[in-house]
Amino acid sequence: MDLLFNGQYDLLGYFVEIILAELLFLHQCEKRSHFLLTFGCSTFAGAVISLLLGIPWGMNSTLIKFVLLLFVILMSVVVMRISFLGGPQFIISSSIAGVATQHIAYKTRNLLEVLLFHKSDSVRLVEFLIMEVAVIIVVFALVYILFAKNYKSASTDFRSNIISIVIVLTCIGVNRLVADHPLDNYYYETATDIYAIICCFFSLAAQFYIYKWYKEQTDAIIIKNLLAASEKQYEQWKSMEEFTSIKIHDLKHLLDRIERLSGEENISIPNLDSIRKTIDGFKPNVKTGNEVIDILLRNMVVLCLQQDIRFNVVSFTDMLGNFDSMSLYFLIANAIDNAREAVEKVEEKDKRIIDISIKQFGSSVVIHLWNYFDGTVKFKDNLPVSLKAQEGHGYGLKSIKTIVDTFEGAMSTEVDGDCFHLNIILPIHNVKKETKNDETGICP
């Protein structure tokens, strides 16, 4: 590799460039303590070794040169491993991405040299260096924007990494054969340069976009399974509510009979209003226009009572019937479950509250949920994440956002002191009517 230097300094220039390229992908990775000292010393040691390896590099052996290149790549991996806290797979993935980036820059410079100067020996060093630096800056910036900018440890996959390693190392091996056995053919060198650039770009795509697509498909399957589980839960709650409604009706009838008999027999009894209020709290009179959501909200009241959580729900619209019931059920149930998880950790009784309001603004429904929490809210990809470790959890608001996106809506979160706010806007399609229905249910 003769990117910046010739002869003995080839490997030194190569080592420096892949270190810089690898930093593009590790910029968000947590650094180890004394990072500057560790990174500086390890990089300096690698540079010295690369310089010493430049002596056998001068031997006219493609195999030896290829082995030396692999050794330099391995040294760069070691430098990053002892400087950053990322796992081995993430470090290796970042390193091979850096090698692919460096190779793209090298072959781009080589392609420009062939096209502009036809490999002329009369090219001045200053012109060569200017072109070299310009190509590196442009290629590195382009790769950063397309791939490295949002690169995180969650973006790696073992299988795509293996594909990338094979592609990149094959490109390096082929390049050595071409460089050490030139045909002095303009079209031949142009074709091999373009081929190598395409292969390295494909390698980066395999690491990022192909895995991203695979992850999205996996998430979709998981959410589909969660939706199926929500449907089963709804059927159970529907049966339970029918049973509860009968018992509530019987209790109300019994209270009426007690009051009537006490009047007929002139018997003094305690005031039964508090009992009636408690009974009504088990079935708040909330109507959203969607029976599935009404059942969900009424059953959430019972769950919150069991956890000593005050659950307030108010609906100013009956337009939720315009949405797919089970998807909306999953969305709201997930949001309330996240709130219950947070409020459950709050010790102050006055702050054990979950409040949800559903309103209509024009042709959209706005759902606002807020609750208190204790501690700090952790964010990932600009979304708070659940701390539960059970299967199906950890998707939290990410799964909610997926449903919101299917409704072509918008979602935002906000933390105000120890209060968490979730806002969801869902456009109403095929609106049949506009009503303002003020129905409130409050769990004391």
pLDDT computed for residue 28 by the predictor: 82
From CA 231, how far away is CA 229, in angstroms rounded? 5
From CA 11, how far away is CA 1, in angstroms rounded? 7
Mean pLDDT, range 101-112, rounded to an integer? 91
Residue 141 confidence (pLDDT) above 90 = yes
Residue 434 confidence (pLDDT) above 80 = no
- Most confident region among 158-172, 358-372, 381-395, 397-411 by mean pLDDT: 358-372
Q: What is the pLDDT of residues 264-304, one digit of tens each?
A: 677 777 777 777 666 665 555 677 888 888 888 877 877 88
Residue 134 confidence (pLDDT) above 70 = yes
The fraction of the chain above a pLDDT of 90, given in percent, is 23
Mean pLDDT, range 360-369, rounded to an integer? 91
**Dihedral of the alpha carbons of 203, 205, 207, 209, in degrees to the nearest 10:** -170
What number of other Cβ atoms are within 10 A of residue 373's Cβ? 21
By the 8 A CB rule, do 309 and 355 touch?
Answer: no
Q: Comparing 326 with 159, which gets the higher pLDDT?
A: 326
pLDDT computed for residue 46 by the predictor: 93
The fraction of the chain above a pLDDT of 70, given in percent, is 74
By the 8 A CB rule, do 3 and 105 touch?
Answer: yes
Residue 356 confidence (pLDDT) above 70 = yes
Confidence of residue 2 (pLDDT cuts 50, 70, 90): very low
From CA 99, how far away is CA 20, in angstroms rounded? 10
Confidence of residue 108 (pLDDT cuts 50, 70, 90): very high
Model pTM score: 0.57
pLDDT computed for residue 135 by the predictor: 93
Per 3-state DSSP, the chain is made up of helix, strand and coil in percentages (nearest 5) of 65, 10, 25
Cβ contacts of residue 48 below 8 Å, gap of 6+? none
**Dihedral of the alpha carbons of 96, 102, 107, 110, in degrees to the nearest 10:** -160
pLDDT computed for residue 174 by the predictor: 82
Confidence of residue 124 (pLDDT cuts 50, 70, 90): low
pLDDT computed for residue 337 by the predictor: 87
Q: What is the pLDDT of residues 8-41, one digit of tens each?
A: 578 888 999 999 999 999 988 889 999 999 999 9
Confidence of residue 57 (pLDDT cuts 50, 70, 90): low
**Distance (Å) of CA 108 to CA 72, 104, 105, 222:** 21, 6, 5, 42
Residue 306 confidence (pLDDT) above 70 = yes
Q: What is the CATH number of domain 284-442?
A: 3.30.565.10
CATH 3.30.565.10-classified regions of the chain = 284-442
Handedness of CA 314, 358, 413, 327 (dihedral sign): positive
Q: With 0-12 CB in 10 A as exposed, 13-18 as middle and 19+ as buried, what is 302?
A: middle
pLDDT computed for residue 386 by the predictor: 53
Do you know the residue count of the chain?
A: 444
Residue 173 confidence (pLDDT) above 50 = yes
pLDDT computed for residue 5 by the predictor: 40
pLDDT computed for residue 396 by the predictor: 64
Mean pLDDT, range 192-199, rounded to an integer? 88
Handedness of CA 8, 12, 18, 24 (dihedral sign): negative
Residue 398 confidence (pLDDT) above 60 = yes
Nearest of 335, 341, 373 to residue 356 by alpha carbon: 335
Confidence of residue 443 (pLDDT cuts 50, 70, 90): very low
Residue 438 confidence (pLDDT) above 70 = no
Give backbone dihedrals phi and psi of 411, rounded to 5 degrees, phi first.
-140, 145
Confidence of residue 365 (pLDDT cuts 50, 70, 90): very high
By the 8 A CB rule, do 9 and 54 touch?
Answer: yes
Confidence of residue 366 (pLDDT cuts 50, 70, 90): very high
Residue 133 confidence (pLDDT) above 80 = yes
Least confident among 70-74, 112-116, 409-413: 112-116
Mean pLDDT, range 382-409, rounded to an integer? 66
Mean pLDDT, range 165-178, rounded to an integer? 83
Q: Where are the alpha helices (DSSP H) in 58-157?
A: 62-83, 88-117, 125-143
Q: State the chain's mean pLDDT as an integer.
A: 79
